[in-house]
Amino acid sequence: MTKPDPKNQLCVGAISGSYGVRGEVRLKSFCAEPTAIAEYGPLYSEDGTRSFKVTLIRPVAGGLGARIAGVDTKEQADALKGITLFVSRDKFPSLPDDEYYHADLIGLEVRDTGGVMLGKVTAVHNHGAGDLLEVGVAGATSILLPFTMATVPTVDLGAGRIVVDPPEGLD
C-alpha cells in the first residue's frame, strides 16, 4: 500500500466518535452518496501516516456506523475521534465539464465580470439548498455566493480563477 500524496488527495469524511462498546465508530461521510466512502479502499489520515480499512455496519444518527480493522474497543474508537479521512484523487472518476470537486475550488481567485478581484474562495458550503462559495474579501468579512450558472458563469481551473456576476446588493 503506497502512502497518498498529501497534495493530491480529497477529504471524504471524518470519524466523529465511537459508537457502542465493541470498537465501532461513527463516521461522517462527505461523499455525494454517503456509503461510497467504503468503496475507495483504505482511507488515510491527512498526513498519510495512518491508513484505515473501513467496513460499514449500518446507518446511525448523524452518520454511519463502521468497523475499522484493528479497532476492537470503545477506548480505541474514542481515540480516533476527529480524524479526517482522505483518498488519493486518482481513485475518483473524472467529472463532466460543469462539475467540480470542492477541493478544486478552494483557493481560486474570484473576479467580477469586469475583471475586478473580489477575493479567493475559502470554503464551499451546502446547507441543503445548493452549494455556496465563501469568498474571503480583503478588508471585509467573507461573502457567500450561490454556486449557480447565473452567479458563477465561468470556472477556469487551469487559470485558477472564477468569474462571478454577484446578485444585486452584493457588489
| CATH topology agreement for domains 6-91 and 102-164 | no
Vertex 23: Cα angle to 18 and 24 (nearest 5): 60
Fold of 102-164: SH3 type barrels. (2.30.30)
Vertex 155: Cα angle to 150 and 157 (nearest 5): 170
Query: In the predicted model, is pLDDT for residue 8 greater than 90?
Result: no
pLDDT tens, residue by residue, 98-147: 888 888 898 999 999 999 999 999 998 887 778 899 999 877 788 999 99
Residue 96's pLDDT band, with cuts at 50, 70 and 90, is: confident
What's the whole-number mean pLDDT along residues 150-155? Answer: 93
Q: What Å distances lie between residue 28 and 8, 77, 102, CA to CA?
A: 21, 14, 17
Q: How much is the pLDDT for 171?
A: 53
pLDDT tens, residue by residue, 42-85: 999 988 889 999 999 999 988 999 999 999 999 999 999 999 99
Q: Rounded to an integer, what distance in angstroms lies between the CA atom of residue 99 and that of residue 75? A: 40
Domain ranges of the chain: 6-91, 102-164
Helix (H) or strand (E) segment spanning residue 79: helix 74-79
What is the DSSP code string of 37-80? GGGSSSEE-TTSS-EE-EEEEEEETTEEEEEETT--SHHHHHHT
Q: How much is the pLDDT for 98?
A: 82
- What's the pTM? 0.71
Instruction: Return the CATH class of domain 6-91.
Output: mainly beta
DSSP code of residue 108: -
